[in-house]
């Protein structure tokens, strides 16, 4: 009888323990919350055109990187005593995680790059955009103005770029439009559609600052570096361009221009950095009326007055505007708009000799003919470079090899001018991607 009572008591105790287990629950077995959901995407809205979505969670992992530098929460803060208390703690933890993610995953400052492409400039433009992405640090929004027939081709080309590259940019494609004057006159002003650049402040009303480049431009260093010139503008400056030439006696404007132009040699508009907000809010002095005119109101009257005297179209109109408003213009050093004129008459860009070319401008079609093989070598090396391949093996070494065939040409005899910035910035990229920085051990 005594043994029977003991067995009953043991069974009752075991049953009580089971009941306590099921009623209290086991909060410790619940899986931890993830900091950022796998499908969390950021997609900015930019008016017209197609947008490339940027996956903030998958590749960069900004939250986990930053959290390494944050103090770890004490273990006792996450412990709870009941299922209800555990639920509240989980909600609070999730809320804190979301706030943390929003704080550090918000998109950084975007750079804006505009280009106008008509005719057979598709491949040339894609190569330019490719060069802008190779070394840049900040993300870029491309504003592509193109003939309607080219729009689908740009979409196809840009959408084929692999994710690590596509995550660095967004793009919008716009039709060619002119807000004032005769559309056909503007289209035929110089090269097809080139005058579109004059209307960027009017069309891109939501954009504060912008870098415009011609399709035949290549970036040999991060676009971030030219973007920083915006911070060097004084209170009256609203645009930046490089001189048309360094030597007045062989410059085109100083010898042949039949209209006013900026400074001694004029300026080249193939690379133009603009504070669009300032341009839209400024009244520009001019030779037509005593009062100033806004940018949009100035363009067509200026064209009507000088259309029989201008040779280089929209660039001439910009020279006329800044002739009367020189305080509004910031001047780039020549290495930021390096053209055949800087080497075909002898080397006359000291900045490029010392620092290397920063932005290469292959005007006169030199990327596609044999007149200046050094320019063509750079273009072909960037055009042929397959994304995600080793930069040194697939870009720099082929470029060096191509330059061996140009050393006896006018511009190829100074290869270091073309190669210095490329090599310098590829080393930076290599260090960022390959060199591993170990965390210091915890004491």
Number of structural domains the chain divides into: 2
What is the side-by-side order of every strand in the sheet holding 140-146?
169-174, 140-146, 111-117, 209-213, 267-275, 239-243, 329-331
DSSP state of 322: H
**The last residue of a domain, from among 332, 363, 388:** 332
Domain co-membership, 251 together with 359: no
Domain co-membership, 157 together with 287: yes
Q: Please report the beta strands in 253-372, taking only residues with DSSP state E, as ranges in sequence order.
A: 267-275, 329-331, 359-361
For range 380-400, the mean pLDDT: 92
Q: What angle (nearest 5°) sits at the alpha carbon of residue 180, between those of residues 179 and 181?
A: 135
Domain co-membership, 186 together with 312: yes
Number of residues that make up the chain: 443
Distance CA 334, CA 268 (A): 10
Residue 340 lies in a domain: no
Domain co-membership, 306 together with 351: no
Residue 51 lies in a domain: no
- pLDDT digits 0-9 by tens, 229-271: 999 999 999 999 999 999 888 888 988 888 999 999 999 999 9
Residue 365 lies in a domain: yes
Q: What is the pTM of this model?
A: 0.74
Residue 190: its pLDDT value, please? 61
Domain co-membership, 374 together with 326: no
* Window from 265-269, 309-313, 399-403 with minimum mean pLDDT: 309-313
Confidence of residue 362 (pLDDT cuts 50, 70, 90): very high
Residue 411 lies in a domain: yes
Domain co-membership, 256 together with 349: no
| Interaxial angle between packed helices 373-384 and 415-434, expressed in degrees from 0 to 180 and rounded to the nearest 10 | 20
Using a CB cutoff of 8 Å and minimum separation of 24, what contacts does 303-306 make?
Answer: 303/181, 303/185, 303/186, 303/189, 306/259
Domain co-membership, 260 together with 125: yes
Confidence of residue 209 (pLDDT cuts 50, 70, 90): very high
Mean pLDDT of all residues belonging to the chain:
79
**The last residue of a domain, from among 283, 301, 332:** 332
The parent domain of residue 405 ranges over 345-438
Domain co-membership, 313 together with 219: yes
**The last residue of a domain, from among 305, 332, 359:** 332
| DSSP line for 170-205 | EEEEE----SSS-HHHHHTSSSTTGGGGGGHHHH-T
**In Å, how far are 23, 51, 194, 297, 384 from 212, measured between CA atoms?**
68, 20, 11, 21, 24
Domain co-membership, 311 together with 351: no
Domain co-membership, 242 together with 179: yes
| DSSP line for 358-413 | SEEE-GGGTTSSSS-HHHHHHHHHHHHPPTTS-HIIIIIHHHHHHHTTTTTSTTTT
β partners of residue 114: 143, 212
Domain co-membership, 371 together with 299: no
Residue 83: its pLDDT value, please? 36
The answer to whether the CB of 115 falls within 8 A of the CB of 142 is: yes
Confidence of residue 121 (pLDDT cuts 50, 70, 90): very high
Domain co-membership, 323 together with 353: no
- What share of the chain in percent tops pLDDT 70? 71
Matching residue, tokens 């720099």 = 396
Residue 66: its pLDDT value, please? 35
């Amino acid at each position: 009888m005594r043994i029977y009572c003991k067995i009953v008591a043991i069974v009752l105790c075991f049953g009580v323990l089971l009941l306590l287990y099921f009623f209290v629950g086991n909060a410790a077995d619940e899986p931890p919350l993830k900091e950022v959901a796998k499908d969390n995407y950021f997609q900015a809205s930019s008016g017209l055109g197609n947008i490339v979505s940027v996956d903030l969670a998958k590749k960069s992992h900004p939250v986990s990187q930053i959290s390494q530098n944050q103090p770890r929460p004490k273990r006792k803060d996450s412990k709870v005593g009941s299922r209800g208390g555990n639920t509240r703690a989980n909600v609070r933890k999730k809320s804190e995680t979301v706030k943390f993610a929003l704080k550090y995953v918000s998109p950084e400052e975007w750079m804006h790059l505009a280009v106008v492409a008509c005719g057979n400039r598709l491949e040339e433009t894609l190569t330019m955009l490719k060069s802008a992405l190779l070394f840049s640090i900040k993300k870029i929004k491309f504003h592509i103005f193109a003939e309607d027939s080219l729009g689908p081709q740009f979409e196809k080309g840009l959408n084929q770029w692999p994710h690590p590259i596509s995550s660095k940019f967004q793009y919008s494609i716009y039709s060619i439009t002119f807000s004032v004057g005769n559309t056909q006159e503007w289209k035929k002003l110089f090269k097809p559609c080139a005058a579109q650049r004059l209307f960027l402040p009017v069309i891109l009303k939501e954009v504060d600052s912008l870098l415009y480049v011609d399709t035949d431009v290549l970036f040999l260093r991060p676009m971030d570096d030219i973007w920083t010139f915006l911070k060097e503008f004084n209170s009256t400056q609203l645009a930046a361009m490089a001189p048309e030439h360094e030597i007045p006696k062989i410059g085109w404007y100083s010898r042949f221009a039949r209209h006013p132009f900026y400074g001694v040699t004029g300026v080249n508009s193939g690379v133009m950095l603009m504070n669009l907000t300032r341009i839209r809010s400024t009244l520009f002095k001019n030779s037509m009326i005593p009062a100033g005119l806004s940018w949009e109101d100035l363009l067509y009257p200026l064209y009507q007055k000088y259309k029989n005297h201008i040779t280089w179209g929209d660039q001439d109109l910009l020279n006329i505007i800044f002739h009367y408003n020189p305080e509004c213009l910031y001047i780039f050093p020549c290495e930021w708009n390096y053209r055949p004129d800087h080497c075909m008459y002898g080397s006359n860009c000291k900045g490029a000799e010392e620092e290397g070319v920063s932005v290469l401008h292959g005007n006169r079609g030199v990327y596609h003919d044999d007149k200046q093989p050094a320019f063509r070598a750079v273009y072909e090396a960037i055009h042929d470079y397959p994304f995600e391949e080793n930069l040194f093996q697939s870009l720099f070494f082929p470029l060096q090899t191509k330059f061996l065939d140009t050393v006896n040409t006018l511009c190829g005899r100074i290869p270091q001018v073309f190669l210095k910035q490329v090599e310098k910035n590829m080393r930076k990229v290599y260090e960022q991607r390959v060199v591993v920085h170990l965390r210091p051990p915890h004491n």
